[in-house]
Amino acid sequence: MSTAVVLLLVFAGLSEAAGRIVPLVSRRPGMSRTFVAGLLVAAGLVEGAVLALWPLTAWTLAELLLSSPPPDSGLAWTPNLLVPLLLSAVLAFPLLGPLLHMVLFVGVGAGLAGSLATASGLGWWTAAGCVAVAGTGLGIAVEGVRRLVVRVSATRTPEVIV
């Protein structure tokens, strides 16, 4: 992976995480700034890693569908595929439009499907299915982890003993 791709993935991950964490912080005004910054960095790295896994997961699914190994060595992010992803991560803030965010993710997935179809020799619709299943699976997995972290880290109000 080139340095530009890694930087774009980190920025997209941080932006995606900020879109998830800022509403949480606004509802809990007592959180310390260092905790919020640490949470943002950790969540940004996790989001960036999940975004980095999207083409790898789609490539793995495509390999399962092929009877012979594809001639190419794999599918990887390129800067021209990642720039729309970064834009969609910036628009992840809930007040700026989840629908637009989803439309941009579909556009990024379509670009990734074209690259997967070219690299693997699959048809475009089959490649788009692999990209969609990979993206949905990763999205469900990361959402499950998010909910688990929120449940585990939720602060409990002390009970009053009378």
CB 21 within 8 A of CB 94: no
- Residue 34: inside a domain, yes or no? yes
| pTM of the entire predicted model | 0.76
Q: Would you say residue 159 lies in a domain?
A: no
Residues 6+ apart with CB under 8 A from 131: 54, 58, 109, 112, 113, 116
Instruction: Please give the distance of CA 18 from its chain centroid, rounded to a whole number.
Output: 13
In a domain, 162, yes or no: no
The answer as to whether 60 is a domain residue is yes
**142 lies in a domain?**
yes
**Is 10 a member of any domain?**
yes
pLDDT digits (tens, 9 = 90+) for 21-74: 777 777 777 777 788 788 888 888 888 888 888 888 888 898 888 877 666 666
**C-alpha distances in Å from residue 49, one per residue of 15, 116, 158:** 13, 19, 37
Taking CA atoms, 77 is separated from 7, 82, 122, in Å, by 12, 7, 18
Cα separation, 141 vs 109, in Å, equals 18
Residue 28 CB-density burial (10 A; 0-12 exposed, 13-18 middle, 19+ buried):
exposed
How many domains would you assign to the chain?
A: 1
149 found inside a domain = yes
Residue 132's pLDDT is 93
- Which residue range forms the structural domain that includes residue 47? 3-153
Whether residue 99 is contained in a domain is answered as: yes
Read off the pLDDT band of 97 (50, 70, 90). Answer: low
At residue 106, the pLDDT reads: 84
